[in-house]
Amino acid sequence: MSAVADTMENITLRLENNAVLSFRGRLFSEAVWNDEDSGVFTHQKLYVTDQNEHVYVIRKGGERRLCRAYRVSVRGERCVIYNGRSVMELPVEMLVLAVRTLCGAEGGMVLEQVEEILRSASC
């Protein structure tokens, strides 16, 4: 068994949309911060699953605790996004366009790196 397989664990998330999202994966990256003005604590995690998908988890604390998660997989030229209840499928090129628009990026090294990551996500 490889070292990567040894780090995989069964994860079950209870989401604010009353869905349960379960997968086997490992933590890839995380970020935590507190907005002092609003008093909202945010914790983001990115997992890689044993099926080579990515699960993005956002937890927010405050008066009302929230947990959202999105499982993203790339199948050929299509990107499939699942939030525990609904599935959305779109061309990878459309996702790249959305990232460009949201980032306000017209080009450059960072955008090229994002595009390469999106295109290689299914490898």
For residue 122, pLDDT over 50 is answered with no
Q: What is the pLDDT confidence band of residue 118, given thresholds at 50, 70 and 90?
A: low
- Residue 103 in any domain: the answer is no
**Total of domains in the chain:** 1
Mean pLDDT of 2-7: 62
Instruction: Tell me whether residue 113 is exposed, middle or buried, using C-beta atoms within 10 angstroms of its C-beta: 0 to 12, 13 to 18, 19 or more.
Output: exposed
Quick check: 26 and 7 in contact, CB under 8 A?
yes
- Residues of the chain above pLDDT 70, percent: 75
The whole model's pTM is what? 0.75
Kindly report, residue by residue over 30-65, the tens digit of the pLDDT: 999 888 888 888 899 999 999 999 999 999 886 567
Cα end-to-end distance, the chain, whole Å: 20
Q: What is the pLDDT of residue 48?
A: 94
Residue 10's pLDDT is 97
Measured between alpha carbons, how far is residue 44 from residues 20, 27, 58, 79 in Å?
18, 11, 5, 21
Which runs of consecutive H residues, i.e. helices, occur in 1-123?
3-7, 92-103, 109-120
Instruction: Summarize pLDDT for 69-96 with one digit per residue, the tens.
Output: 999 998 888 989 999 999 999 998 888 7
Beta strands 66-75 and 78-82, pairing class: antiparallel
Residue 37 lies in a domain: yes
Beta bridge partners of 24: 10
Residue 52 covered by a domain: yes
Query: Residue 123: its pLDDT value, please?
Result: 43
Domain extent at residue 66 = 3-90
In a domain, 57, yes or no: yes
